[in-house]
């Protein structure tokens, strides 16, 4: 890390949605997850990456937080407090950070977001882009009731889609996690302690600078602000999912084909209206999400090279795929595609994409890209698809393979390759991976 950071944890809310657990006797961030308060899990994750200066913003029953953590010495941290006498929203109390002797860039975390992330990666992303604000964004199982972050191909934030908005079109499952890295110069805009909403009053006005970025991660990040989600966090911590998904560890992944695997095979799909999920796609992907495997879609889309649609329409098709999965509690950690085709001579073809490349399956470029981004162990990973192209891709990268009897059912005739396993559908394929092999 090139800079010094002060972690600020917002822990002052009343937690009205959690009354059945807090019984109005403890602040929400002090609820125990498998023996430790929620705040302690956050602090320990920060300490693992050398972030020791921590300020906790308290309010309702804040004295209980202060009494438990003290000055942080017993944890190897330097903990200070800001007590809100009246609620100042999600950002108003940042005004008081200006009074600290040594201004540092700020890591802002909300006290009901449970995390286990590799902070070094997010901080490197922030510093390399000279960002004013970096938002942690991630896919989750309920994007329909979450604030979404809109980004361009460089991951610059271009807008926020609030959860209470009426969404007229398909959308990317990129949820605002409530975790930010903030350049210290932003604090100069705080001239008094008044109620401020971080997203509305700070983040949105800065978007036009081009220096607000979204850092996308597949790591464990979950809003634990309802009793149901809190219990889910407890269970997932017990199962080791928090640790397993941290990107300082090698990840295991499943690389799904798209057409004939996740969605019904209809030849070359060139319009979002043509995409419909396989009947068991959402339930199968949801099972993967709960297993500790990462779920990716890796697909050839020569419709661009053939001039049947442009790249923007492929992205729209993929937004529909994400939206349909999200409505059913499932998500893909990423989608990558090849728009190229090496053979020329098609009527209406786009010559810019009529080129040989290393990303068209069974070439390995797309998976190599994912391996680097998500720290993947290919020896513990799988390729699942309905064609011999997918099976050859799996062999080329050293992953295990499952041929589905959906879609083309291996009858494409492209490669003479034997899959490791065959399955009648996605449900059976996921069962092979998770249950027969313990997810290993």
Give catalytic residue positions.
257, 259
Query: Which of 36, 35, 74, 77 is closest to 56 using CA atoms?
Result: 77
Cβ atoms of 98 and 207 closer than 8 Å: no
Peptide bond into 396 cis (omega under 30): no
Cβ atoms of 187 and 213 closer than 8 Å: no
- Annotate 53-80 with b (16+ C-beta within 10 A) or e (fewer): bbbbbbbbbbebbeeebeebeebebebe
Quickly count: other Cβ atoms within 10 Å of residue 426's Cβ: 25
Query: Which of 78, 55, 87, 81 is closest to 67 using CA atoms?
Result: 81
Query: Which of 344, 275, 280 is closest to 314 using CA atoms?
Result: 275
CB-neighbour burial class of residue 129 (10 A; exposed 0-12, middle 13-18, buried 19+): middle
* Residue labelled with tokens 């199962």: 239
């Amino acid at each position: 890390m090139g800079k010094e950071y002060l972690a600020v944890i917002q822990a002052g809310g009343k937690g009205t949605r959690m009354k059945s657990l807090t019984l109005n006797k403890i602040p929400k961030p002090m609820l125990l997850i498998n023996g430790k308060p929620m705040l302690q899990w956050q602090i320990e994750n920060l300490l693992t990456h050398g972030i020791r200066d921590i300020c906790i913003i308290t309010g309702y029953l804040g004295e209980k937080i202060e009494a438990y953590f003290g000055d942080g010495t017993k944890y190897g941290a330097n903990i200070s407090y800001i007590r809100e006498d009246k609620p100042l929203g999600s950002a108003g109390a940042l005004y008081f950070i200006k009074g600290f002797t040594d201004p540092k860039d700020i890591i802002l975390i909300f006290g009901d977001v449970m995390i286990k992330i590799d902070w070094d990666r997010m901080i490197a992303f922030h510093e390399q882009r000279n960002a004013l604000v970096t938002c942690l964004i991630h896919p989750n199982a309920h994007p329909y009731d979450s604030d979404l972050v809109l980004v361009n191909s460089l991951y610059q934030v271009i807008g926020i889609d609030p959860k209470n908005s009426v969404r007229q079109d398909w959308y990317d499952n990129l949820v605002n996690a409530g975790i930010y890295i903030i350049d210290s110069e932003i604090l100069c805009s705080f001239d008094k302690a008044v109620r401020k909403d971080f997203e509305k009053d700070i983040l949105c006005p800065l978007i036009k600078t081009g220096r607000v970025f979204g850092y996308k991660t597949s790591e464990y990040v979950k809003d634990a602000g309802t009793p149901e989600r809190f219990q889910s966090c407890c269970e997932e911590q017990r199962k080791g999912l928090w640790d397993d998904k941290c990107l300082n560890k090698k990840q295991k992944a499943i690389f799904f084909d798209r057409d004939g695997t996740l969605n019904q095979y209809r030849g070359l799909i060139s319009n979002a209206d043509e995409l419909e999920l396989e009947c068991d796609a959402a339930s199968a992907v949801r099972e993967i999400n709960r297993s500790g495997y990462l779920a990716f879609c890796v697909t050839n889309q020569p419709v661009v090279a053939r001039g049947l649609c442009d790249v923007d329409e492929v992205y729209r098709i993929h937004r529909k795929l994400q939206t349909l999965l999200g409505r059913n509690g499932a998500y893909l950690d990423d989608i990558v595609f090849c728009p190229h085709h090496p053979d020329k001579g098609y009527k209406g073809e786009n010559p810019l994409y009529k080129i040989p490349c290393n990303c068209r399956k069974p070439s390995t470029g797309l998976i190599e890209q994912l391996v680097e981004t998500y720290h993947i162990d290919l020896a513990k990973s799988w390729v699942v698809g309905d064609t011999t192209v997918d099976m050859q891709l799996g062999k080329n990268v050293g992953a295990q393979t499952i041929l589905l009897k959906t879609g083309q059912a291996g009858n494409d005739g492209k490669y003479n390759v034997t899959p490791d396993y065959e399955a009648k559908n996605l449900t059976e394929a996921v069962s092979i991976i998770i249950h027969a092999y313990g997810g290993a």
